[in-house]
Chain A
């Protein structure tokens, strides 16, 4: 097996046994990046030279008996995460030359654990999108089929993990941005419970919904990454001070005796027949291992989309007010122009069309005369959506269903129809609104060879249940072991 084909846990094992050095592994990954980037375009920034130095330092640390849990493992990160001294664009022209003076909390944790940074992954601008076509730079391509989108907004990240140009990674998920691209690229993607991972240094989109989490090649890999990045951070008052469980210990629990809910609202018109068949086959496998499947109802599912597209743009319009051309980022200052002109010109030139659309939508929803009808109403319906899940979790341990209505669509197919694009996230949005953990795991492929994922949703802080279900499924299947033909 080539080094770039390893799962994270396999790589960690080889490094620990001394069978391969971090330098060798990092060189192999850099070679893989050179081989795949012309087609996949997963990275916006490469830090190869610094990575080789970090790899040498990791090998020295290991020799000195100071190896952290990710010591010497090379990986890229979604470009929404601030990296000290390394350009962080968030996929936007407005931050094209922004070099953060600090690391995001979770980046600091990954570095302390020994990660070697290979570069920064492409994404939809400010994480707004489902295909990476909203990147301010260029779209990424799906490694399984270069004509297809990799999903979004963590599209570059999922594509890179699938292509083997990163041994694991961390993305962010505001309405599905980890799970949807993971599903489309045939990798594992976990959105943890809101508050499980600090948001400090994560460029804000919608602060009550944003959450960072692992994108990996196996459930065990995701458990390892979460154990490194989870934990309380005094700099993020919404990060939880609950202790971080031993996630690896949850992997072997199995599904025997677990009650898994199947929401009837997830199996409706518009669900692609191949996706439905794949998800039902995965459920049959879980039943064969001793899980009990129970039909549940999440009656407000159809309202999640309008609620999300009021709340997320409203929060975004406020968060993105900081891009004003004063302290960092693009600043357009015409000769003799005043302050207001600088604001208007900087923002209009720096933001792409989808970001402008959402800032407009959010500003409108919060503006005088419309607040109650939009933002106020959306907050109330958000309560109803949260209560749906609370009622379901009184009966079941976790919920299983599709991640996306269809396999990955073609690049360009939905780019002129924002409402159609928004529908890609119809099964993932509600977990963010309710703050729940959700995970996508590889469950099969369409006839055209595009990956299809299974979504597992749990109650707050039930990541261990998701790992138990996902790992049990993986032990009986080989979808997660397949690698794209690149």
Chain B
């Protein structure tokens, strides 16, 4: 087993997902299959090989720090599930 049912539950909590028992069982099986296929990478000796995080050589992009027009409140809140016209309203945190 590459990944156990309890690890699946832990990862789901990290990813903020609530899984049904049926979905957990199916995912455990599928993730095991997929992770087993990933084992192929272990065949390769990669010691000393640098990592590629971006395919093109990119350096930090700098730009002048000028204020620009941004979305006004009305447009920024237009898709809000709940708002008072000034802020996004969310359920109680504590």
With contact pairs A338-B91, A360-B27 given, residues A324 and B16 touching in the complex (Cβ less than 8 Å) = yes
Assembly CA distance A325 to B82 (angstroms): 10
Assembly CA distance A208 to B38 (angstroms): 20
B79 to chain A minimum Cβ distance, whole angstroms, is 3
B49 to chain A minimum Cβ distance, whole angstroms, is 4
Neighbour of A367 across the interface among B11, B16, B23, CB < 8 A: B11
With contact pairs A329-B79, A381-B44 given, residues A356 and B17 touching in the complex (Cβ less than 8 Å) = yes
With contact pairs A367-B14, A384-B44 given, residues A435 and B34 touching in the complex (Cβ less than 8 Å) = no
Once the chains bind, are B34 and A326 in contact (CB under 8 Å)? no
Within 8 A of A (CB), among B4-23: 7-8, 11-12, 14-19, 23
Once the chains bind, are A327 and B14 in contact (CB under 8 Å)? no
Assembly CA distance A436 to B55 (angstroms): 8
Neighbour of A357 across the interface among B30, B46, B56, B91, CB < 8 A: B30
Neighbour of A331 across the interface among B3, B44, B82, CB < 8 A: B82
Assembly CA distance A376 to B53 (angstroms): 10
Neighbour of B79 across the interface among A327, A432, A436, CB < 8 A: A327
Residue of A nearest to B16 (CB): A343
Number of A-B contacts (CB under 8 A): 163
Assembly CA distance A378 to B35 (angstroms): 13
The reply to whether the CB of A98 lies closer than 8 angstroms to some CB of chain B is yes
For A, the interface residue count at a CB cutoff of 8 angstroms equals: 72
With contact pairs A377-B46, A434-B55 given, residues A338 and B92 touching in the complex (Cβ less than 8 Å) = yes
Which residues of A sit under 8 angstroms from B52, Cβ to Cβ?
A: 379-380, 382-383, 386, 433
Within 8 A of A (CB), among B60-76: 61, 63, 71, 75-76
B87 to chain A minimum Cβ distance, whole angstroms, is 11
Assembly CA distance A300 to B43 (angstroms): 11
The reply to whether the CB of A227 lies closer than 8 angstroms to some CB of chain B is no
Assembly CA distance A172 to B51 (angstroms): 25
Which residues of B sit under 8 angstroms from A419, Cβ to Cβ?
A: 33-34, 37
Which residues of B sit under 8 angstroms from A359, Cβ to Cβ?
A: 15, 17
With contact pairs A238-B54, A309-B38 given, residues A357 and B90 touching in the complex (Cβ less than 8 Å) = no
The reply to whether the CB of B1 lies closer than 8 angstroms to some CB of chain A is no
Assembly CA distance A356 to B38 (angstroms): 19
Residues of A within 8 A of B (CB): 97-99, 101-102, 193-195, 208, 234, 237-238, 240, 300, 302-303, 305-307, 309-310, 317, 321, 324-331, 333, 337-345, 347-348, 351, 353, 356-357, 359-361, 363-364, 367, 374, 376-384, 386, 418-419, 432-436, 460
Can you report 30 residue pairs joining A to B where beta carbons are below 8 Å apart? A97-B79, A101-B75, A101-B78, A195-B58, A237-B61, A240-B56, A306-B38, A307-B41, A309-B37, A309-B38, A310-B38, A317-B15, A328-B79, A331-B82, A338-B93, A345-B18, A357-B27, A357-B30, A357-B31, A360-B27, A361-B35, A364-B11, A367-B14, A379-B51, A379-B52, A381-B41, A384-B46, A384-B49, A386-B52, A419-B33
